[in-house]
Amino acid sequence: MASKKNKTQKLRPSSAKKDEGDALWDEVANTVKRQASSRISPVALPAKGQKKRPLAKKIPANAKKSINLRNNAAPKIDSDNSGLVTGPANLSQPVYAGIDRSSAKKLQQGKMVLEARIDLHGLSQLAAHQRLQHFIQKSRQEGLRTILVITGKGKAGRGVLREKVPQWLSEPPLSEAIIAFGASRPQDGGAGALYVRLKRARERL
């Protein structure tokens, strides 16, 4: 009977051994360092009440083309001179400078005497550009002030010269000889022609 009791006691782990095992486990656990996770960090969500940034809208190709055409004929702004508009005044634009209001109104209404005219209708871009440069230079040398430049309207009002001529007038060397320009009255060609006001001959090109 005694031998059976002793055998049972040996099979049960003593409390002392259990305490030693717990202490050993705590010691091992303290030496283990946590490694940095290789997982991708989650995307931060906007704070409550913060508005999400709107996505950029795609602009159709035909809309981009029309925007570029408007920008080509728009007056240039001098960023080094407090945002003042430079170059000849394009009277078809909402903002222009370089001509007084009274003169601009007379030019727009066709009340200035036309001293010469040139018809570029039907010419290629290169030929029209060269002929326009020569005509404006000659007109200025002769002391002329107001001239008419006929561009034609083109098909459906989208003629190449109708779009290009205002651009040429806004850029050197032509811009250095011009005060202002704008669409003519119907009796002088309407949207297919431009009134051009030249600088005086003594003014520097």
The DSSP secondary-structure symbol of 178 reads E
- How many residues are listed for the chain in this entry? 205
Pairing of strands 193-198, 146-150: antiparallel
Residue 50 lies in a domain: no
Tally of domains within the chain: 1
pLDDT, tens digit, 9 for 90 and up, residues 178-202: 999 999 999 999 999 999 999 998 7
pLDDT, tens digit, 9 for 90 and up, residues 36-58: 555 555 555 555 555 556 555 56
Residue 148 near residue 196 (C-beta atoms within 8 A): yes
CATH at residue 175: 3.30.1370.110
The range of the structural domain enclosing residue 133 comes to: 61-198
Q: What is the mean pLDDT of residues 72-99?
A: 67
pLDDT, tens digit, 9 for 90 and up, residues 147-174: 999 999 887 778 899 999 999 999 999 9
- 0.85 surpassed by pTM: no
Residue 184 lies in a domain: yes
What span, in angstroms and rounded, lies between the C-alpha atoms of 150 and 119?
5
Which DSSP string corresponds to 132-153? HHHHHHHHHHTT--EEEEE---
- What does the mean pLDDT of the chain come to? 77
